[in-house]
Amino acid sequence: MPEASKQATVITVSCLSGGSGKSTTVLNLATMLSGKGKTLAVDFDPQGNLSQWLGWTDLSNEPTIAEAILPSNDRVPITEIIKTPKNENRSNTLFLAPSDFSLAHAADIIAPNPGRERFLSRALKSITDEYQFIVIDSPPSKGILTYNAILAADFLVIPTECTNKGVMGAINTVQLVRELAEIDFVVPHILGIVPTRDQWAGANQTRMSKAAMKALEESLPSIRLFSSLRQSTIVQQTNMAGWSLAEAGETKLSKPYVEVINTVIAKING
Ligand SMILES: Nc1ncnc2c1ncn2[C@@H]1O[C@H](COP(=O)(O)OP(=O)(O)O)[C@@H](O)[C@H]1O
Ligand SMILES: [Mg+2]
């Protein structure tokens, strides 16, 4: 584990496909990591699902991450937008940089500025020594917000729905990281893919899920596949409660996230 004085390890969760389990993955990773060290969950999707799951359903009178990435004159220091989850007492180990639809507007404002792909990195720089882990959620499409989320990270996790659309999203995400590297951006290390919404009928994996996993292995042979997250209403319930699957006692369902966290810790420890 890093010393308290060292810089936070930053993990971004991204997939260029909606409904792939990004926000679910951020909620689980951030909540579980907060048991190991002070953790900041950054909601960097204008949909604001992560903020809502952590109890912040109305942010209309609150500054959000949108204000923290604005050009200099209008920028609010990120320390002033950080909140504690409303729905759980997490003993001051889990914090939230929330977002709502105003983040889409912020993306338009920063678009003409030089360095616009690194405004989230800049905002996080001032607090990186205050946290042990920072976990960033991201939007489902290509654009400045997604570039900012990816380029702020040390590690990237790609949750992928077990459908054709999900697989295309994962392939496009890996391609995007490679494109960013080609034009000399420092890109995160891709930790791997978490196949999500893996559907089983009794003891049998459905043909659709099986085909999706095979397509992932064949299309992205160099990328690690973590254990899959099964389709389950329990996931929706824990999301709505702002809980990780682990703290709900769902040991089997939380396996992919335990694997991701163990991999991150092993990489930090060299
Ligand atoms: N394994 C799962 N089983 C059932 N529902 C899931 C599962 N993973 C995610 N969901 C639900 O599906 C929806 C989309 O998931 P979400 O994590 O919000 O994806 P994204 O952030 O990529 O759009 C949410 O309502 C979430 O609660
Ligand atoms: Mg989401």
pLDDT digits (tens, 9 = 90+) for 90-106: 888 999 999 999 999 99
- pLDDT higher than 60, residue 4: no
Q: Which of 29, 194, 235 to mutate to test the pocket of ligand 1 (most atoms within 8 A of CB)?
A: 235
| Per-residue pLDDT tens digits for 202-249 | 999 999 999 999 999 999 999 999 999 999 999 999 999 999 999 999
From the CA of 197, give the closest atom in ligand 1: 1
Q: What is the mean pLDDT of the chain?
A: 96
- Residue 33 has a pLDDT of 98
Residue 81 Cα to chain centre, angstroms: 18
| Per-residue pLDDT tens digits for 122-160 | 999 999 999 999 999 999 999 999 999 999 999 999 999
Q: Which of 47, 230, 236, 240 to mutate to test the pocket of ligand 1 (most atoms within 8 A of CB)?
A: 236
pLDDT category of residue 6 using cuts at 50, 70 and 90:
confident
Q: Which residues pair with 155 in a beta bridge?
A: 11, 189
Distance 169 CA to ligand 1 centre (A): 15
- Residue 5 has a pLDDT of 53
User: Hey, where are the domains in the chain?
Assistant: 9-268
| Per-residue pLDDT tens digits for 102-127 | 999 999 999 999 999 999 999 999 99
Q: Which residues surround ligand 2, an ion (CB under 5 A)?
A: 22-23, 49
Q: Which residues pair with 205 in a beta bridge?
A: 200
Distance 3 CA to ligand 2 centre (A): 31
- Residue 73 has a pLDDT of 86
**Pairing between β-strand 200-201 and β-strand 204-205 as defined by DSSP bridges:** antiparallel
- Residue 136 has a pLDDT of 99
Name the fold adopted by 9-268: Rossmann fold (3.40.50)
Distance 48 CA to ligand 2 centre (A): 7
Distance CA 138, CA 148 (A): 9
Distance CA 124, CA 121 (A): 5
- pLDDT higher than 90, residue 2: no
Residues 6+ apart with CB under 8 A from 90: 31, 34, 84
- Residue 108 has a pLDDT of 97
**Ligand 1: residues whose CB is within 6 Å?**
18-24, 49, 140, 196-197, 229-232, 235-236, 239
- Residue 1 has a pLDDT of 46
Q: Which of 157, 198, 239 to mutate to test the pocket of ligand 1 (most atoms within 8 A of CB)?
A: 239
Distance CA 1, CA 111 (A): 37
DSSP 179-223: HHHHTT----EEEEEEEESB-EETTEE-HHHHHHHHHHHHH-TTS
More confidently predicted of 44 and 91: 44
- pLDDT higher than 70, residue 3: no
Question: Are the C-beta atoms of 227 and 256 separated by less than 8 Å?
Answer: yes
- pLDDT higher than 50, residue 18: yes
Distance 50 CA to ligand 2 centre (A): 7
Give the residue among 257, 248, 139 at the shortest CA–CA distance from 195.
257
43-81 burial code (b ≥16 CB/10 A, e <16): bbbbbbbbbbbbbbeebeeebbbbbbbbeeeeebebeeb
Give the residue among 53, 9, 29 at the shortest CA–CA distance from 247.
29
User: Which whole number is the average pLDDT over 264-270?
Assistant: 95
